Amino acid sequence: MATLTGLSAEERRKRKKRKQIMKVVIPLAFLVLLAGLVVGIHFVNRYNEQKRLEELAAQTTAAPKKSDLVMLSTDDIDEITVISADSVSGEEKTFIRSGEDRAWKWKNNTSLELNKTLIGGLVDNVAQITSINTVSDDLESNSEVYGLKDPAHTVKIRTTEGEEIEIHVGSKSPSGTYYFMAVKGDNHIYMLGPTLYSYLVRELAEYIELEKFPELEEQQFDSLSVKKPGETEAICGYYNPGDLLQVDRMALSLWYFASETSGRYDSMDYEKGRSLNEAILGVSYSGCVRAMPTEEELKEFGLKDDATKIALTYKKYGVEVQPDGSLPFERKQIRLTIGKEMKYNDMTYYYAQLDGAGPVFRILKKGGMDFVMESFTKENMMTLLPTQIGIANVDRIKLIYKSKEHDFEIRRETTKDENGQETTVERFFGDGIEFEDSSFRTFYSMLAALSANQYLPPEKVKKDAEVILDYEFFTNYGENETKHIRLLEYDDNASQLEINGEILYLVNRTERKKIESNIDSILSALE
């Protein structure tokens, strides 16, 4: 049945729903249109601003016209301060003239040397700051546009006459070549060239001249001490032991460890000693990281309590020859604190500090410091042929084996022929019985070349162990100079090896059985 309006009830419901939807859609469409208009205006303004800057930059490139803003000689400047907002370290670069020679120094620590090339370049460029074209004569209105409201760099200059000049450096030009600049008290905006800017962006650490690691020769080495984190005592090695009072001359070595037990010196492995020399000669400093580090920064760099301490003592020789033909010398020391590893330009370095104070710098890991840090341990550096001694330097051997004592003697007789040529004949005796030459030399070589397999730390030594073998070389080096070796029980796989009263090594079961077999063969000839 039709309604008065000619529409059915279903059609009226649909029409009403469409009206409700339009009430919502139309305002939303208007808002979207308005937002698009705002965004469009914003992009147009940005485009116009970019266009304007590009045109300015193009003008300065096309028609450079220099304007001298600061005209000083380098001698006219007393102080330069560079404040950089983008400084990683946050350290302010304030340089002043100091001392009678009026050399440039860092204000916060005048004892540090500066890199003469860098500080000279900074001073030269600051002394004659020039502009390339004036960009605007309304700094107040345009400071934010050109990055000068909060400048990236501020340069303060104080002259010898007390005049103060302040330069603000803002953002980079669209052309990528110049920088916007203003001078305090001047309402103009200028264009600054890139040369001075290259000095402003450098960190303070780059201006610091590091104390260089001395260029040493091997004969200058004296001692090396390394104390690693968690260790109570430093590991100390001594070079050129001829200068020491008690020297183990019975083994070829470059470096020695002091022996607290025997009062003698225990030799390092010869080849590892050579590697240690090369490591020290290969130590390489790199750039400064922080000129005046805070306590928190030192902790971050690993240069506090958990750091490795290294001390190298060396001889610095004079030039005037002494009456005895020697050169005078004084002992010098370098003390390095080594912290955490760090990466820089795809290379691995350690953070380091000299004498536990002053600037933090980088020291290259590869080439020397890695050996000192990782390989310089007593366990690793000790020689594994501890009993080596040439037969020409031995007169007698006392041997105790299986509770029996035996005495071996090398008798030497020297004769001269009619031409005065000396000939020495050696004869070998065991318990008064003369040995055949080759048999005794084989026996001697076995004793002298006893090979250890592992360094034995003092805390792992077994006290009062049963003695397996005891023998002592009596040398012709000097009165009562001997080398006393004892092989003692340890466990089923190894024996303790004691040299001159101190147990230093382990000898494995195979080596022990070999030497026992050889001794049994020799002693059977004496029966």
Which of 183, 209, 235 is at the close of a domain? 209
Task: Tell whether the model's pLDDT for residue 256 goes beyond 50.
Answer: yes
In this prediction, residue 60 carries a pLDDT of 42
How far is 87 from 91, CA to CA, in rounded Å? Answer: 7
How far is 62 from 385, CA to CA, in rounded Å? Answer: 79
In this prediction, residue 431 carries a pLDDT of 92
Task: Tell whether the model's pLDDT for residue 272 goes beyond 80.
Answer: yes
Task: Tell whether the model's pLDDT for residue 67 goes beyond 80.
Answer: no
Q: What's the distance, CA 390 to chain centroid?
A: 41
Percent of the chain whose pLDDT exceeds 90:
29
| 74 and 156 co-located in one domain | yes
Q: Please, which pLDDT band fits residue 239 given cuts at 50, 70 and 90?
A: confident
Q: Please, which pLDDT band fits residue 188 given cuts at 50, 70 and 90?
A: confident
Would the CA dihedral through 294, 299, 305, 306 be positive or negative?
negative
In this prediction, residue 261 carries a pLDDT of 54
Give 6 or 278, the one with higher predicted confidence.
Answer: 278
Task: Tell whether the model's pLDDT for residue 246 goes beyond 50.
Answer: no
In this prediction, residue 202 carries a pLDDT of 87
| 84 and 134 co-located in one domain | yes
Task: Tell whether the model's pLDDT for residue 58 goes beyond 80.
Answer: no
Order the strands of the 93-98 sheet from edge to edge.
66-68, 130-136, 189-192, 179-183, 164-172, 153-159, 77-84, 93-98, 103-106
| 401 and 424 co-located in one domain | yes
| 362 and 245 co-located in one domain | yes
- The mean-pLDDT minimum among 48-57, 386-395, 439-448 falls in 48-57
Best CA proximity match to 235, nearest among 371, 376, 369: 376
In this prediction, residue 230 carries a pLDDT of 84
User: For residue 173, what is the domain's CATH number?
Assistant: 2.60.40
What mean pLDDT is predicted for residues 275-286? 87
Maximum Cα–Cα distance across the chain: 161
In this prediction, residue 6 carries a pLDDT of 53
In this prediction, residue 130 carries a pLDDT of 77
| 119 and 72 co-located in one domain | yes
Q: Going by DSSP bridges, is the β-strand pair 482-489/494-499 parallel, antiparallel, or unpaired?
A: antiparallel
Q: Exposed/middle/buried for 20, CB within 10 Å: 0-12, 13-18, 19+?
A: exposed
**Average pLDDT taken over every residue of the chain:** 82
Q: Output DSSP code: residue 147.
A: T
In this prediction, residue 19 carries a pLDDT of 59
Domain containing residue 103: 66-209
The answer to whether residue 332 is domain-embedded is yes
Taking a C-beta distance cutoff of 8 angstroms, is the pair 178, 193 a contact?
yes
| 370 and 414 co-located in one domain | no
Task: Tell whether the model's pLDDT for residue 207 goes beyond 70.
Answer: yes
In this prediction, residue 64 carries a pLDDT of 39
Q: Please, which pLDDT band fits residue 17 given cuts at 50, 70 and 90?
A: low
| 334 and 373 co-located in one domain | yes
DSSP-derived 3-state class of residue 259: coil
Q: Please, which pLDDT band fits residue 488 given cuts at 50, 70 and 90?
A: very high
Q: Please, which pLDDT band fits residue 145 given cuts at 50, 70 and 90?
A: confident
| 309 and 450 co-located in one domain | no
Give 341 or 450, the one with higher predicted confidence.
Answer: 341
Task: Tell whether the model's pLDDT for residue 107 goes beyond 60.
Answer: yes
- pLDDT per position as a tens digit, 38-51: 556 655 555 565 55
How many other C-beta atoms can be found within 10 angstroms of the C-beta atom of residue 120? 13
In this prediction, residue 503 carries a pLDDT of 85
What's the domain count of the chain?
3
Q: At how many degrees (to 10) do helices 437-448 and 509-524 cross? A: 150
- pLDDT per position as a tens digit, 401-429: 998 999 999 999 999 988 888 899 999 99
Range 52-56, long-range pairs (CB < 8 A, 24+ positions): 53/145, 53/173, 53/174, 54/174, 54/175, 56/133, 56/135, 56/173
The answer to whether residue 20 is domain-embedded is no
Would the CA dihedral through 245, 251, 255, 261 be positive or negative?
negative
If you write DSSP's letter for every residue of 464-520 in order, what string do you get? Answer: TPPEEEEEEEEESSSTT-EEEEEEEE--SSEEEEEETTEEEEEEEHHHHHHHHHHHH
